[in-house]
Amino acid sequence: MRRITIATMVAASLAIFTAPAQAAWHSYISHSLGFSVEMPGEVKTQTGTYRGAVSGPRETIIFRSVEDNIEYKVTVMSFAQAQAEGASILGEREYMFQDKKKVLMDTFGRVEPGKDAIYGRKITIELPMNAGRTTGAFYFNKGKLISLEATVLPANGDYASPDPGRFIDSVAFVLSRAQEGSTELKLPE
């Protein structure tokens, strides 16, 4: 009996040591962009471009990390001069995200309670060619289109992982709700 117990403990310890190392989740905040979010892994700042028929060409700021073969991305675009067109700009972004993809979920997103609420959309799609599954959340707040996308890559394979949900649901627009000690996100130079 004692041998079995010891063997079980050794096996359990081995399982823990050989499991992929999960980085801790950190809270990040951007006072200038007006949101906070939680992400695991090392967050890098990149720039990119986006183009939509309604929105036109835009430069994007991307905050990205990869952890345990899940890619976490926050993409921010500024539409300060077109805030009254925010509904169409947001709708176009959501539409482009799911266009020609298999949609698994498409539902209301709401961040913050009551009069502070920001309404958006949460969508889960399967990527073509078995390239993974992405859950996205899309919001337009104070002239900025903010997209959160978490992609479970095939190398991870756990497409029902709760981590994409944890990521997209961590966003806050009332910055007093961000965790204390949140790291300020670096903006591109």
Binding site for another protein (CB under 8 A): 53-54, 83-92, 94-95, 106-108, 110, 114-121, 139-143
Q: In what order do the strands lie in the sheet with 183-184?
A: 35-40, 25-30, 183-184
Q: How far is the CB of 79 from another protein (least distance, A)?
A: 10
- Alpha-carbon gap, residue 117 to 33, rounded angstroms: 17
By beta-carbon proximity to another protein, the closer residue of 85 and 126 is: 85
Structure tokens at 147: 């997209």
Task: Check: CB of residue 75 under 8 Å from CB of residue 149.
Answer: yes
By beta-carbon proximity to another protein, the closer residue of 45 and 52 is: 52
Which three-class secondary structure state does DSSP give residue 20? coil
- Alpha-carbon gap, residue 142 to 128, rounded angstroms: 33
Name the H helices within 35-142.
Answer: 86-98
Look at the block and give the residue holding tokens 């539902």: 107
Q: How far is the CB of 81 from another protein (least distance, A)?
A: 11
Q: How far is the CB of 183 from another protein (least distance, A)?
A: 27
By beta-carbon proximity to another protein, the closer residue of 40 and 109 is: 109
By beta-carbon proximity to another protein, the closer residue of 27 and 91 is: 91
- Alpha-carbon gap, residue 97 to 119, rounded angstroms: 17
Q: How far is the CB of 180 from another protein (least distance, A)?
A: 27
Q: How far is the CB of 178 from another protein (least distance, A)?
A: 20
By beta-carbon proximity to another protein, the closer residue of 39 and 74 is: 74
Structure tokens at 161: 């992982």
Q: How far is the CB of 117 from another protein (least distance, A)?
A: 5
By beta-carbon proximity to another protein, the closer residue of 19 and 105 is: 105
Task: Check: CB of residue 145 under 8 Å from CB of residue 156.
Answer: no
For residue 136, the cross-strand partners are: 123, 149
